Amino acid sequence: MRSAAVRLVDISKSYGDVWANKDISLTVEEASIHGLLGENGAGKSTLMKILFGMVSPDSGLLEVNGQPAAFRSSADALEHGIGMVQQHFSLIGTFTVAENLILGRGSQSFGGRWVKRLDLKAAAQRTRELSDRFGFGIDPFALCHDLSVGARQKVEILKALWGGATTLVLDEPTAALSPPEAEELYEVLERLRREGTTVILISHKLPEVMRLCDRVTVLRDGAVVGDREIALAARRPGGQRAAMEADLVQLMIGRERPVVSQRAPRDLPPVLSIRELSDGKRIDGLDLTVNGGEILAIVGVEGNGQSELVELLIGQRKRISGAVELDGTDITALSTKQRFDKGLAHIAEDRHASAIADSMSLTDNASFGFIDGAPFAPTPFWLSRRLRSRFAALLVARQNVRASSPDALIESLSGGNQQKLVVARELARAPRLMIAAQPTRGLDIASTTAVHEALLALRDRGSAVLLLSLDLTEVFTVADRIAVIRGGRIVGESPIATADATQIGQWMSGAASKEPV
């Protein structure tokens, strides 16, 4: 056995009566990739924030390279060669890539940093070198809020490696990446391991865990429930791998992997029809129909108009031309609220930006979007606190949201539990058309299945679902039909049963544009 890069001994941390971590011990070997698995709220992020000095544990010990260590802040952790990529982005949008990378590492002397010019040229040069080393192709002078999610994730990794980190913690790094981007990341991680870096990877995606990790530790309810070595034979798809995966699922959720129920084809009139829709910028003459009782998945390389299409549909973006009909009535002139009243619901792609208010309570967040009508407002001048609490409790129960109390701030929930609340709230609208953008981002296996089941239930009731997803497995699990978006228009469509992955790939990249469809 190689020596331990990081050792955590009997770490405990509680928030109120919730034990986020309870006597957790973890040893991570040098130059290995160590997976950390567990359901939403199992305590993975908390444990890693403790290792990174961002959260102070109630009790327990840390050892780095065999030496005891105590971190009071992430500055201490960085100094000990530990870098971390947070679950949600920690880049500053108004800063350039180079500025974000050099942030906090510019100069060592306290006096010097007030007078000396910060050498951003050198930082940019270093950024370029580091980025080229991994083939990232990042422009050091780009503003971070202009970057795609994938590029931002890469910048986060560069940032963690900037100070020469020897241990790298990644908290669900591929949750927001498209498959090819994730693939690139896997190669980077494998390369880092070869070069001697220790990686701790938090993930809900078993295939990537199986492919990358040397060892995994599974947490449940804040405690370690198991530890497995992943044999080389299990890394490749095949018999041994399936058995191993089943074993991990069993450890994580205490039962077998739930299966998504079968479905029968439906044939109902269109719920959503879009004709020649343009916004003058990213959406350019888009045509699309979604029938009742149908789940239509839109796939495409990120930045081809997915987000803009959603904004157009919910009325947050100005339409230049074209029509959008919901159940046969034109909704283009309606406000967002009127559209929601007409039967639209929306699971937002970026929950922090547009689905929840971080510093409000779970109950408040549960009632967003229902303010001036049923179910809690008998009159426009009064919101019933009792009814709202009851509603929140209902949502919590439906999607199995884990929180310390209904009054807990939503930001104190684990990322996956925040997402579950959003999904439950939007489902509660009983929509005619559900626009679900990355609905299972950051969800654990059981919750992902629960969301898929809920979408299928909508479909079985005759509603339509427009699914935007980067996860092709998800698309093939739930969708009835698949449409490919590129350059702001739909370039190809196919029923899921006859969908051909190569063809879809060509549509996405544009290689098939010359061929007859």
Partner 1 sequence: MDILTISLVISAIHLGVPIILPMLGGLVSERSGVMNIGLEGMMLGGALAAVAVTFITGNPWLGLLGAIVSGLLSGLILAILTVTLRGNQVVASTAINLIGAGITAALVPIIWGVDGTSPSVPKIPSMTIPGLSDLPVVGPLFSSLTAMDYGTFVLAIVVWWVLFRTDAGLRIRAVGESAESADAAGIAVVRTRFIAVMTSGAFAALGGAYLSIVTLDVFQASMTQGRGYLALAALVFGKWRVWPALAACIVFGLADAFALRSQIVGIGIPHELLLALPYVLALVALATFVGRTSAPAGVGKPFVRA
Q: How far is the CB of 92 from partner 1 (least distance, A)?
A: 5
Residue placing its CB nearer to ligand ATP in the complex, 44 or 425:
44
Element (H, E) at 63: strand 59-64
Cβ neighbours of residue 386 closer than 8 Å, sequence gap 6 or more = none
Candidates 2, 58, 68, 104; binder of partner 1 (CB under 8 A) is: 104
- The span from the CA of 84 to the CA of 344, in Å, is 38
Positions in 79-138 near ligand ATP (CB under 6 A): 87
Cβ neighbours of residue 255 closer than 8 Å, sequence gap 6 or more = none
For residue 280, give the amino acid letter. Answer: G
| Interface characters, 152-191, with partner 1 (x: CB under 8 A) | -------x--------------------------------
Which tokens go with 439? Answer: 């609905």
Q: How far is the CB of 409 from ligand ATP (least distance, A)?
A: 7
Give the rounded distance of the alpha carbon of 317 from its chain centre. Answer: 24
Q: For partner 1, which stretch binds (CB under 8 A), given 34-42, 97-105, 429-437, 499-507? A: 97-105
Report the candidate in 24, 445, 22, 18 with the shortest Cα–Cα distance to residue 227. Answer: 24
42 contact choice in partner 1, Mg ion, ligand ATP, none (CB below 5 to 8 Å, kind-dependent): ligand ATP
Which tokens go with 162? Answer: 């900037």
Residue placing its CB nearer to ligand ATP in the complex, 322 or 415:
415
Q: Nearest-CB residue to ligand ATP?
A: 416
Q: For ligand ATP, which stretch binds (CB under 6 A), given 14-22, 70-78, 282-290, 367-375? A: 14-22
Q: How far is the CB of 294 from Mg ion (least distance, A)?
A: 33
Q: Is 174 in the site for ligand ATP (CB under 6 A)?
A: no
Radius of gyration of the chain (CA): 24
CB atoms within 10 A of CB 65: 16
Q: Is 92 in the site for partner 1 (CB under 8 A)?
A: yes
DSSP state of 157: H
Q: Is 50 in the site for ligand ATP (CB under 6 A)?
A: no
- The span from the CA of 202 to the CA of 38, in Å, is 9
Q: How far is the CB of 466 from ligand ATP (least distance, A)?
A: 25
Candidates 45, 174, 304, 463; binder of ligand ATP (CB under 6 A) is: 45
- Exposed, middle or buried: residue 61 (CB in 10 Å: 0-12, 13-18, 19+)? middle
- Is the separation of the CB atoms in 380 and 467 below 8 Å? no
Report the candidate in 435, 133, 396, 426 with the shortest Cα–Cα distance to residue 306. Answer: 435
Q: How far is the CB of 421 from partner 1 (least distance, A)?
A: 20
Residues paired with residue 464 on neighbouring β-strands, in sequence order: 294, 433
Q: Is 414 in the site for ligand ATP (CB under 6 A)?
A: yes
- The span from the CA of 403 to the CA of 18, in Å, is 8
Residue placing its CB nearer to ligand ATP in the complex, 99 or 171:
171
Q: Is 15 in the site for ligand ATP (CB under 6 A)?
A: yes
Give the rounded distance of the alpha carbon of 183 from its chain centre. Answer: 16
Q: Is 417 in the site for ligand ATP (CB under 6 A)?
A: yes
Q: How far is the CB of 301 from Mg ion (least distance, A)?
A: 27
Residues that bind ligand ATP (CB under 6 A): 15, 18, 20, 38, 40-46, 87, 402-404, 412-417, 444
Which stretches of the chain bind partner 1, using CB under 8 A? Answer: 15, 49, 52, 54-55, 73-78, 84, 86, 90-95, 99, 102-107, 112-118, 159
